Chains A and B, each alone.
Chain A
Amino acid sequence: MSFSPLVDRLLESLRVLPGVGPKSAQRMALYLLERDREGGQRLAAVLAQALDEVGYCQRCRTLTEEDICGICRSPRRDDGILCVVESPADMLAIEDAGGYQGQYFVLHGHLSPLDGIGPEDIGLDQLEARIDAEAVGEVILATNPTVEGEATAHYIAAQLDGRQLRLSRLAYGVPMGGELEYVDGGTLSRAFNGRLPFQSE
């Protein structure tokens, strides 16, 4: 048995969402149609508006419906430190962790020669122009600790070579609450190489 054409189209459309298969799509559609039409209407309106209006911040390239996002506009943030991340989700993770008061730059990807993704695809020219235009004193390369993230960090570092600024990379380490026995060899050896002086205070 199948539903009417419009309901079928709704089921099909819901499946664009990650993790949603035919069964979950059916549950969601029936829920909205039978139990919460008002919520469904709100969802439809917000979804349409967001898809229409949300773009990239002109300064840091994160997702926002404004020209310049809230963090970039904030007078309380330190414009002298710039943290380069691969995705808006990484930026959010750093914000949630707290403690960082500088600015961001979002690449929306990483260099990946085998996928044909080059420097021009991840806005590295824009990053360089921004660093030259603003008085940035430190650039934190917070790309992922993967081969592609490493390659991206290396490329940015080489691109910025010769400028008067501090370049840093996130440290590799053992996860909090982790047990050495279960940490993979690569992480452990890097944590060893990057060990810090012991501080009791």
Chain B
Amino acid sequence: MQPEPAFLLHKRPYRETSALVDLLTLGHGRVRAVAQGVQRPGSRSRGRLQPFAPLHVTWVGSGELKRLRLMESTGSAALLAGEGLLCGLYANELLARVLPLELPGREVFAFYSATLEALPRPEARASALRRLELALLELLDAEPRFRDLNDGELDPQRRYVYRGEARAFETLPPGASQGLDGRTLRLLASGQWEAPGLAGPAKALTRAALMPLLGARPLRSRELMQRLAARRHGAPS
């Protein structure tokens, strides 16, 4: 096979000197493979096989678990630190949890690499992550439809709460203060995810849309970020 562009999502030790890796690849989606010998001290691939580093890989095997053959790094890993690093771990955890094995999705791959480039810049992080989440939702056919539960238009004057299982919005009683207002949702529906003031609603919406896919187990990297944020604001975590 031709070398395939890939990113390492997760690596865990396997046997004594090998590792079980989850890769996000351009043409084959998420691929799970055994990387033999990479945990050996002094292995040259050990340093290469790191999250966020662009790789070219080939593998053999037709089952669910492949055997990683060639692995080359193509350029250096994004220098992530601090908050940006945690966001990167969030992206990795999300993909590893939600993306089924070997479901090809070129958009997800493209938005993932764009996210890695955006993460070192704090002001670019949120919108990059939203675009990745949206590409992921679209691939899994779970992106929000901007209609109410009866498939009616959203009213700009009303407030709504997203129901992930129905992929539609439930209308809240008049005067409700929670949820998202119809005007904001109309802006999001027209693709204006980066308009000023929409970062919060966009985040709430993708989170609600991802919820049914994630199931009961929360994302640990998000918990970690929330705990840090709580500490920073002096609130008890």
Contact = CB atoms under 8 A, between A and B. Distances in A.
A186 B220 contact: no
A138 interface: no
A123 interface: no
Contact of B86 (A146, A151, A193): A151
Nearest to A190: B79
Instruction: Label chain A's interface by main secondary structure.
Output: helix
B40 to A, nearest CB: 11
A37 to B, nearest CB: 29
Interface stretch (B127-135, B192-200, B223-231): B223-231
A185 B76 contact: yes
A150 B232 CA distance: 19
B12 A115 contact: yes
A6 interface: no
Contact of A189 (B76, B81, B82, B231): B76
Nearest to A151: B85
A117 B224 CA distance: 10
Contacts, number: 73
Interface string A16-39: 001100000000000000000000
A115 B221 CA distance: 10
B96 A154 contact: no
A113 B79 contact: no
A18 B17 CA distance: 10
Interface stretch (B29-37, B50-58, B105-113, B203-211): B50-58
A113 B224 contact: yes
- By Cβ-Cβ distance, the 7 closest A-B pairs, closest first, are A113-B220, A113-B221, A185-B76, A114-B10, A147-B51, A154-B82, A158-B228
26 contacts: A19-B16, A113-B90, A113-B219, A113-B220, A113-B223, A113-B224, A114-B9, A114-B96, A114-B220, A118-B223, A146-B50, A147-B50, A147-B51, A147-B52, A147-B85, A147-B89, A151-B86, A151-B224, A154-B82, A154-B83, A155-B224, A158-B228, A158-B231, A158-B232, A184-B48, A193-B79
Given A159-B231, A184-B73, 17 more contacts: A18-B16, A113-B93, A114-B92, A114-B96, A114-B221, A118-B220, A119-B224, A147-B50, A151-B86, A154-B86, A155-B228, A159-B228, A185-B75, A185-B76, A186-B79, A187-B47, A193-B79
Interface of A: 18-19, 111, 113-119, 146-147, 150-151, 154-155, 158-159, 161, 184-187, 189-190, 193
Interface of B: 9-10, 12, 16, 47-48, 50-53, 73, 75-77, 79-83, 85-86, 88-90, 92-93, 96, 219-221, 223-224, 227-228, 231-232
